[in-house]
């Protein structure tokens, strides 16, 4: 299952790494793509992830999950 989210506040590779690290650690996540330029985060997981769980991981990285893209 693949879901794309919009994330605000990212501007560089460090931002991408921080978000990737936190979201990749979520149970069931098998792939992730983060693009600071577009502000998009795509998460591939074995089972559907709760949006609040993804939001908490993005918050932990220091950014804001705006919603699904």
Provide the pLDDT for residue 58.
98
pLDDT of residue 35: 98
Q: Cα–Cα distances in Å, from 25 out to 4, 6, 38, 57?
A: 17, 19, 23, 9
Q: Phi and psi at residue 32, in whole multiples of 5°?
A: -155, 145
The pLDDT tens digits for 15-66 are 999 999 999 999 999 999 999 999 999 999 999 999 999 999 999 999 999 9
Cα 4 from Cα 33, distance rounded (Å): 9
The CATH code for residues 2-68 is 3.30.70.100
Looking at residue 52, what is its pLDDT? Answer: 97
Cβ neighbors of 27 (< 8 A, separation 6 or more) are none
What's the predicted TM-score (pTM) here?
0.95
Q: Is 4 left (phi over 0), alpha (psi -120 to 50) or beta?
A: beta
């Amino acid at each position: 299952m693949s879901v794309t989210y919009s994330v605000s506040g990212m501007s560089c590779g460090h931002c991408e790494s921080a978000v990737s690290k936190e979201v990749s650690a979520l149970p069931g996540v098998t792939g992730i793509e983060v693009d600071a330029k577009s502000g998009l985060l795509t998460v591939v997981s074995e089972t559907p992830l709760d949006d609040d769980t993804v939001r908490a991981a993005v918050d932990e990285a220091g950014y804001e999950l705006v919603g699904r893209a």
